[in-house]
Amino acid sequence: MEILRKAVVVLGMLWVCAAVAQKQPNVPPEYEREGGPYVPTPNVVVERMLGMANVGERDHVIDLGSGDGIIVLTAAHQRKSSGYGVDIDEELIRLSNLRAKSLGLSGRVRFEARDIFKTDVSKATVVTLYLLPEFMQRLRPKLFNELQPGTRIVSHDYHFEEWQHDAQTSFEVPEKELVTGVPSATLYLWIVPAKISGAWRMQLDGNAEYRLTLQQRYQNFEGTAEVKGRQAALISPKINGKDIRFVLVHDNRRGEFSGRVEGDRIEGTVDYGEGKPVRWRASRSS
């Protein structure tokens, strides 16, 4: 049923693509609209996307394939964020910049005619997407590797397959039926995790040095801690943006570790349930 629903949505978008291709000769010949045709996200869905990403005035929202600019403009207008949109359609970019000017938002938002794959995304704190499934899979490594840890990604209707989303919501949107054939929307949220794979030296206040070995797959990881030749597996490991948690049983004590990853360093506390938490830190050794 889910597969059928997705097939209908994709077919709907491709149909729109064919229909609008002749009317929109605004894409330079060297580019292809591979991410999908211009199909605007309805206002009600835009608002839910911004809510799901919890956009606020300190955010910088980048919409990849920004269409008429609705997501970046709504974020700037309603939630006071700054923003940037790129689209290969020069006419849509011209209209987006005009709308930004008429709304008095030109100081905070900007739109540029640019291919998504040639876009610097590193300054985003929130990325929004409404792009075809195959394009999403090609985009996945770029976003995973280039976005800062903690950046939220929200996508309308399509997901990243093997990079599991952190949250999902579906709701009815009757006005979408005419365009995509499906009167509903599904939103997916990811929080970009810090990169932690590798070997780390971990030090606990007043204790021996541990060697941590971590293997990460997107926001999931597993690992072991080794001290004095003895190894223990990390229990319930979790990474959410820069925040890392795991449980480790060592020296017959059960410690709940939490910490914050900053590049090649992690600092945090471990709680043994015996009073004051103990500080720990780790630095990458390979």
Binding site for ligand SAM (CB under 6 A): 33-36, 38-41, 63, 65-67, 70-71, 86-89, 92, 115-116, 130-131, 156
Q: Which residue is nearest to ligand SAM (CB)?
A: 65
Residue whose entry in the numeric block shows the structure tokens 């397959």: 161
**Which one, 65 or 223, has the nearer CB to ligand SAM?**
65
Closest C-alpha among 44, 52, 19 to residue 33 = 19
Parallel/antiparallel/unpaired status of strands 109-113 and 82-87:
parallel
- Count H helices and E strands in the chain, helices first: 6, 16
**Which one, 50 or 282, has the nearer CB to ligand SAM?**
50
- Distant-in-sequence, close-in-space partners of 185: CB < 8 Å, separation ≥ 6: 42, 45, 48, 156, 157, 170, 171, 173, 176
**Which one, 65 or 237, has the nearer CB to ligand SAM?**
65
Q: How far apart are CA 125 and CA 80, in angstroms?
A: 14
**Which one, 16 or 278, has the nearer CB to ligand SAM?**
16
**Which one, 51 or 263, has the nearer CB to ligand SAM?**
51
Q: How far apart are CA 253 and CA 276, in angstroms?
A: 15
3-state secondary structure of 103: coil
**Which one, 12 or 223, has the nearer CB to ligand SAM?**
12
Supply the minimum distance, in Å, between the C-beta of residue 45 and ligand SAM. Answer: 8
The burial class, CB within 10 Å (0-12 / 13-18 / 19+), for 243 is middle
Supply the minimum distance, in Å, between the C-beta of residue 27 and ligand SAM. Answer: 7
Supply the minimum distance, in Å, between the C-beta of residue 215 and ligand SAM. Answer: 33
Supply the minimum distance, in Å, between the C-beta of residue 59 and ligand SAM. Answer: 17
237 CB neighbour count, 10 Å cutoff? 20
Supply the minimum distance, in Å, between the C-beta of residue 240 and ligand SAM. Answer: 26
Supply the minimum distance, in Å, between the C-beta of residue 249 and ligand SAM. Answer: 48
